[in-house]
Amino acid sequence: MDSIIAHYSLTPSPYSPPSLPTLSSSITTNLSAPTLSFAHRKPTMSRRDVIASASQTLATPEPKENKLWGGRFEESVTDAVERFTESISFDKLLYKHDIMGSRAHASMLAKQGLISNSDRDIIIEGLNKIEKLIEDGKFEWRTDREDVHMNIEAALIDMIGEPGKKLHTARSRNDQVLTDFRLWCRDAIDLIVQRVKYLQVALLKLAIKNEGLIVPGYTHLQRAQPVLLQHLLLAFVEQLERDAGRLLDCRARLNFCPLGACALAGTGLPIDRFMTADELGFTGPLSNSIDAVSDRDFILEFLSANSIIAIHLSRLGEEWVLWASEEFGFITPSDAVSTGSSIMPQKKNPDPMELVRGKSARVVGDLVTLLTLCKGLPLAYNRDLQEDKEPSFDSVKTILGMLEVSAEFAQNITFNEERIKKALPAGHLDATTLADYLVKKGVPFRTSHDIVGRAVALCVSKNCQLKELSLDELRSLNPVFDKDVYEYLGVENAVEKFSSYGSTGSSSVAYQVDYWVTKLGITKET
């Protein structure tokens, strides 16, 4: 499955406008030279001969290969149209899935008596040879053959002759490309889910390594309550688990086969769509031929799931970029995941996570491109849908890179315990726990909230912490306070008082860690 990564890099489109003529070097290097005279040159060809020769060249262009779909056409498309409409520059990465689908299709045609077993064997042998040529880098991808399907089919016909012409029986490029694309998406999802798990393991190991470390928890980017670092890191593990779940749900929905739907209406030939679906590992064939070739909801859902992953990774990146700053100083990335400045020699920047944050915009943009592309298209297939490939390829390539580098970063950071401990007293993080104390004493929460608010105001005026207030000072706010109140004050005590399911209390977090250790299949000593 890892082999799919090697094919995610996109090849630039060969389409480009004709280059403008350039001035000759003799003129451009001496603009002040006198007007050139041709009086002493021996004429090699008269003006009339030049024009006649040019006209003859224009009138007899280089003959082009007949398109496999070109039977009713008397003229070839222009070069500009050919360059503009080709997709081979990017869809050739579907070659493996295209050949896989063609093998299954040939086997089904033979079983149904639409081609002979001999033809089937010749076709499959030819497809195997073409696949080997592609993998060895010896296959010629031709723009005039438009796309991956026509390149492979035309090459097959060149290689094996008449049997190759039978392969396209009872299928269209419409159902063929959708079959390829769904197979590709299935593999891509499997790979992304693997990378998600890899990041989850990296975060869990980081949590285990920092057991017991308390950090400030924030709301509105203001200090709120103390939390265990393990609890914070496991929040991202939980998010990633839902991300993987969305991908697997998407995989289940897209795992239906379009092959045999043909252009849009199916076929009158006696094909077996259930056979091809089963051979390709699909749950079954899509049940409506128009829907099979016209909708792209499966790729919209896939790119939507990718976008949510990207947003989660961007938030992780933002957290760590902030924490690596001098103002926070909570983490120190190793040199292996940092970069420097070209002008400021003291700088050490967490660039990988900044790029993770930045590339999330790209993944979201790929989704928006697809949503806009599909908006308002009439049924069934339209050529607009050729444009679904590049954003999809880019989304997968980008999200794989974001997941990989996030895991690398997690494996190469150190939490600065002393700096964090010195920072903890600021912000009165135990205020809510003090309010809980009053509630346990029978004081209504809104009254408790007011009392603790006045206690914080007293601390601000005295420049001290809540735990530094005397019992008399606390009783001046409300007589219910007793000596046991100090068991609730200070960040360490506050954290220990959190006992609800899923909270940041040490027993709750220990349960969460054990759960993820078992689920992800690692050991605490790892």
- The residues that are catalytic are 220, 341
Contact assessment for residue 333 and residue 324, using Cβ atoms and an 8 Å cutoff: yes
**196, amino acid identity:** V
**259, amino acid identity:** L
For residues 93 and 372, give the distance between their C-alpha atoms in angstroms, rounded to a whole number: 24
**79, amino acid identity:** D
| Burial grade of 391 (CB within 10 A; 0-12, 13-18, 19 or more) | buried
Take residue 153 and report the two structure tokens written for it. Answer: 């089919």
Return the residue matching tokens 């091809």.
276
The three-point CA angle 312-315-319 to 5° equals 140
For residues 82 and 186, give the distance between their C-alpha atoms in angstroms, rounded to a whole number: 31
For residues 250 and 297, give the distance between their C-alpha atoms in angstroms, rounded to a whole number: 10
For residues 222 and 216, give the distance between their C-alpha atoms in angstroms, rounded to a whole number: 9
Take residue 302 and report the two structure tokens written for it. Answer: 């896939």
**107, amino acid identity:** S
Return the residue matching tokens 């009872």.
170
For residues 173 and 384, give the distance between their C-alpha atoms in angstroms, rounded to a whole number: 14
Quote the distance between the C-alpha of residue 285 and its chain's center. Answer: 27
For residues 224 and 432, give the distance between their C-alpha atoms in angstroms, rounded to a whole number: 9
Residue 410 CB: number of other CB atoms within 10 A?
A: 24
The phi and psi torsions of 36 (rounded to 5 degrees) equal -75, 140
**30, amino acid identity:** N
For residues 55 and 135, give the distance between their C-alpha atoms in angstroms, rounded to a whole number: 44
Return the residue matching tokens 């049940």.
287
